[in-house]
Amino acid sequence: MTTSIKSHVEKILERIDGSKKEKEDLYEELSIHLQLSSEDWMKSGISKEEAEKRAIEDFGKSDIIGSQLQEAMYPLRKIILILLASLSLVYAYTIYLFELFVEGDAHFLWLFSSVGISSLLLLIALQVFPSIDRKSVVNSALILHAFIFSFGIAHSTILAAGAWVLVLTSIILIYRTTVIDYQFKQAKYKKLIKRFHLFNISIGIMIIGMTLFFLWAFLLFSESFQATMLLFLLPLTVWIVAYYWQMNLLYKEKVKSAIVISLLPFLMVASIIVFYVFNVVFGGMAS
């Protein structure tokens, strides 16, 4: 394969989120198509270099073709991400101005964080940095987005409703990106891997919710930040490590070991719920 065809195909693939296997298949398919097209042009009597140039011109610009393939593979994801990012930016500034002029105490750190994560989602949606692996980046960004905008739920009814919409949209996109858009390398355990993803995402959402709740409760009775607050991040850390561990075991076809590891975050969540209910019930009876 010549350098010009190879370079054109690589530029197209830069704009696609696909897995390594998907990109390898597309690379081969697009390269063969361009090669055959250039051979057809050569039959008209022109040079090899000119034939390749015309084949590439006929095929289309790399950024346009790449964007079209991306949209075909992941329909509506771009527009949903743009809407989520745009509405999040509007909500972030609305909350900040509301706190500043109505409550008299605005939180600049929250504004900086919310605008930052919303801007990152917008950059991803617009493919400003097409060469990065956006699957892992977009999920990480969506998790952070849900976490940051969950603090908006604590505001008044109307503002809280807006925060709920943004957080729920992030959660839906996390499920879609991981389970629907995700292409599984292990065809043998495709359904099982999908179930593991669904289970872990659900557990992760519960852990993030619990972390936010206990952090909020702790801050109510604390005058300033304390190092002990970092302990609330321990369940989240355990979940991330366990999730990554399970996927590695599944790809190595060690299903039983993956099931055992999956019990760790589940038991952790169950223990937290039991502990909380026990304290509420028996604490209420004692009072």
pLDDT band of 89, cuts 50, 70, 90: very high
Lowest mean pLDDT among 99-113, 115-129, 217-231, 265-279: 217-231
pLDDT mean across residues, the chain: 80
**Cβ-count burial of 285 within 10 angstroms (0-12 exposed, 13-18 middle, 19+ buried)?**
exposed
pLDDT band of 223, cuts 50, 70, 90: low
Same domain, 266 and 189: yes
pLDDT number for residue 232: 73
pLDDT number for residue 158: 67
Greater confidence (140 vs 82) lies with 82
Same domain, 49 and 134: no
Greater confidence (217 vs 197) lies with 197
d(Cα 113, Cα 97) in Å, to the nearest integer? 15
Sign of CA dihedral 263, 265, 268, 273: negative
Same domain, 173 and 85: yes
Which of 37, 69, 101 is the last residue before a domain boundary? 69
Same domain, 190 and 247: yes
DSSP secondary-structure letter at 224? S
Count of domains for the chain: 3
Give the domain extent around 26: 3-69
Task: Give CA torsion, residues 36, 42, 47, 51, to 10 deg.
Answer: -40
pLDDT number for residue 83: 93
pLDDT number for residue 90: 93
pLDDT band of 78, cuts 50, 70, 90: confident
Say if CB 207 and CB 235 are below 8 A apart.
Answer: yes
Greater confidence (252 vs 231) lies with 252
Task: Report the pLDDT averaged over residues 136-150.
Answer: 83
d(Cα 186, Cα 224) in Å, to the nearest integer? 49
Same domain, 46 and 132: no
Which of 136, 154, 178 is the last residue before a domain boundary? 178
Same domain, 62 and 83: no
Task: Report the pLDDT averaged over residues 86-113.
Answer: 84
Greater confidence (105 vs 119) lies with 119
Same domain, 87 and 173: yes
pLDDT band of 86, cuts 50, 70, 90: very high
Same domain, 203 and 275: yes
Same domain, 193 and 278: yes
Could you tell me the pTM of the whole model? 0.67
User: Percent of the chain scored above 90 by pLDDT?
Assistant: 7
Greater confidence (119 vs 193) lies with 119
Same domain, 280 and 194: yes
**What confidence tens digit (pLDDT) does each residue in 246-271 have?**
988 888 888 899 999 999 888 888 88
Checking if the pLDDT of 19 tops 80, the result is: no
CA distances from 231 to 31, 84, 235, 237 (A): 52, 31, 8, 10
Chain centroid to CA 7: 29
pLDDT number for residue 119: 93
Sign of CA dihedral 123, 124, 128, 134: positive
Same domain, 79 and 135: yes
Half-sphere exposure of 167 (CA within 13 A, CB side): 18
Task: Report the pLDDT averaged over residues 214-225.
Answer: 69
Task: Report the pLDDT averaged over residues 135-156.
Answer: 78
Which of 120, 144, 178 is the last residue before a domain boundary? 178
d(Cα 110, Cα 97) in Å, to the nearest integer? 12
Checking if the pLDDT of 10 tops 90, the result is: no
**Cβ-count burial of 278 within 10 angstroms (0-12 exposed, 13-18 middle, 19+ buried)?**
exposed
Greater confidence (141 vs 180) lies with 141
Greater confidence (209 vs 105) lies with 209
Say if CB 63 and CB 15 are below 8 A apart.
Answer: yes
d(Cα 91, Cα 78) in Å, to the nearest integer? 20
Same domain, 161 and 230: no
